[in-house]
Amino acid sequence: MVAYGSYDRCMRFIKGHGTENDFVLLPDLDGSLDLTPEMVAALCDRRAGIGADGVLRVVPSKISGDPVAEALAGEAEWFMDYRNADGNIAEMCGNGVRVFARYLVDAGLAAPGEWPLATRAGLRRVALGSSGDVSVDMGPPEVRGSGSAVVAGRSYDGLRISMGNPHLACLIEEPVRGLDLTRPPSFDPAVFPDGVNVELFRQVADRHVEMRVYERGSGETRSCGTGAVATAAAAAIAAAAAPETGALPAGDWLVDVPGGRVTVTFDGTTSHLRGPAILVAQGETRAGWPA
């Protein structure tokens, strides 16, 4: 394994985003890249690095070094190794999966169509063409009861929902554009031992909500795919369209985020997230960076 502690050779990268939730993708086709938290944080730095909400290492599942991915290697050729901007490992990223899949097709590493990807939250099946939006089977939202968080000195109540990673989706009455998400929310670590992504959302029309999110390890982001699904689930429950337990009723929900719009679909069994996945640029870091 090559550990980038000395950063003594160049790394190839691709920059992409899904509704402006942006990522640095690092192709690691031979499984030789051993990312350190410091390197991830340096890459994601918006002033001294490339700038991103997170890093996606593109690696074959069978040589990924991750036990979950290697156990899934017989079902999914590729593993999305996702790290938050602070360098910490994360389980899942809905926008990241779409950008990851778009890169595989663009690079000729996978064909357009439907196929599974390995993530730390398990298999996620994607569907995409040679261009256009990407759809991901996100699995059924798991509602774990009520919870609360304090944002900018104000307490918000919401639903604790797992999408493979933890969320607190809070329904509010005021427009989301006036919220102060410059500081990390505070919460009870006994309730959220792994931290939590906090979504504040407002219903603007039938099956249509607007949302902002503070992501653990990244701060406020322009979009969050797993958060959009968690928000749509919480909105369905708040609208009395579904109980807190059992399958959510079939139908589409539009979720507006600062970076655009995604569509969440419940089919009575699982959830699907559909939205854009844009590849912006590619290049190489300079050998010796960061010094």
Decide: 53 and 218 in contact? Cβ < 8 Å. Answer: yes
Verify whether residue 224 is a known catalytic residue. Answer: yes
Q: Which of 260, 279, 287 shows the shortest CA–CA distance to 107?
A: 279
Distance between CA atoms of 229 and 206, rounded to whole angstroms?
A: 16
* Terminal alpha carbon distance of the chain: 21
* The amino acid at 7: Y
Verify whether residue 93 is a known catalytic residue. Answer: yes
The answer for residues whose C-beta is within 8 angstroms of residue 17's C-beta and 6 or more apart is 23, 95, 99, 259, 278, 280
Decide: 86 and 216 in contact? Cβ < 8 Å. Answer: no
Residue in 10, 44, 93, 170 annotated catalytic = 93
What amino acid positions are annotated as catalytic residues?
Answer: 93, 224
